[in-house]
Amino acid sequence: MLALTIALFAWEDLTIFHVNPISYSSAPVNMDTGDVLGDMYFDLRSVSLPVECAVPSPATEHDCDNVEVVADDLVITKVVLTVDGNYGEYGRCNICVNGTDHHGNNSCVDGVYWCQCGDYGSQTHQCNGQVGRAAINASSHHDCKPDSHGNPPPVWQCWNGATAKKTGGLWFSTTSNGYCGDGTAPVPPDCTWGVKEVAKIVNKTCSDNSIYSTVEQHDLSGDCFDACVDSGVGPKRNTSSPCWISCFYTTALGPEAGKVNGTIEGMPIQDLIDAWNKPFLPVEKGGCPALQKPELRAASPAVPWFGYPNFDF
């Protein structure tokens, strides 16, 4: 009875977001997700990719080849999970591209999500069924500091680090080992997470444009974006332009965000949160149109009976 009571109170609802091509499942099986701040970090740091990927290197190839960033049919899904609350090691889950997940598995199947736990080198291992959790600002992956030879870091690396400090947030990994299923089969007794609700799916381009408009309207200098002209005909949103990208980060993070030890300022974090959440509002309130997948019509939440007492099997 004691063990059952502990299990009952351990389960909790968790609202997460995920970016992926629309052809993949809305249930984040073998995927990484984030809370509002966590996935907002992923989205905001991706703004710098045209600068980062202009000079490809082994250090940047994962970012520049990431299907969750460069695919033409990206969507953002807001999902409410029910999880057992016994969080474990965070797994880096990515779509295999050209036989590699860029995190240690160089023999994966192209197009398939694969999760790796362990460090970023050779000491990787298969993730277990626990829901993984990690704090973004606890990682030094994109620290803004000179290299071992004293050379200054690229500006995009400083923007990435500043974004992490600005947003904070949490990332989660949910593996197939812990998936409670879609309700079409008996629930595994040792599962750790299930889908309670797919709240809304939106086109990522629609979401991006909504966020870009909000940031442009907060131009701190009043003329940064206006100075990014195209053939002298006035301001133009060119998200691949270094000028526009620099203005984006100057506005969102402050003018020193691209410098070593730069002060993080810029837009109030709540304004960025509101901008991130706006696409998921109803259309009549400024949100993006909801997209529907055929799979959602048949899917149902699946969690152990002791984890979500109101679930009706």
With cut-offs at 50, 70 and 90, classify the pLDDT of residue 55.
confident
State how far the Cα of 161 lies from the Cα of 158, in Å rounded to an integer. Answer: 5
Average pLDDT, the chain: 82
Count the Cβ atoms, other than its own, within 10 Å of residue 267: 18
Residue 140 CB burial class (10 angstroms; 0-12, 13-18, ≥19): exposed
What confidence tens digit (pLDDT) does each residue in 79-116 have? 999 999 899 999 888 888 776 666 666 667 778 888 88
State how far the Cα of 114 lies from the Cα of 95, in Å rounded to an integer. Answer: 6
What confidence tens digit (pLDDT) does each residue in 186-245 have? 888 889 999 999 999 999 999 999 999 999 999 866 688 888 875 444 457 889 999 999
State how far the Cα of 141 lies from the Cα of 136, in Å rounded to an integer. Answer: 10
Q: Averaged over 56-63, what is the pLDDT? A: 69
Question: What's the token pair of residue 231?
Answer: 């053939």
With cut-offs at 50, 70 and 90, classify the pLDDT of residue 150.
confident
- Which residue, among 194, 169, 199, 168, has the nearest Cα to 183 in the 3D structure? 194
CB 36 within 8 A of CB 273: yes
* Least confidently predicted of 28-37, 146-155, 304-313: 304-313
pLDDT of residue 66: 76
Q: Letter for the amino acid at 140?
A: S
pLDDT of residue 230: 58
- Enter the pTM of the model: 0.84
State how far the Cα of 248 lies from the Cα of 250, in Å rounded to an integer. Answer: 6
| Higher pLDDT among residues 297 and 280, named by residue | 280
What confidence tens digit (pLDDT) does each residue in 113-131 have? 888 888 765 677 888 899 9
Residue 147 CB burial class (10 angstroms; 0-12, 13-18, ≥19): exposed
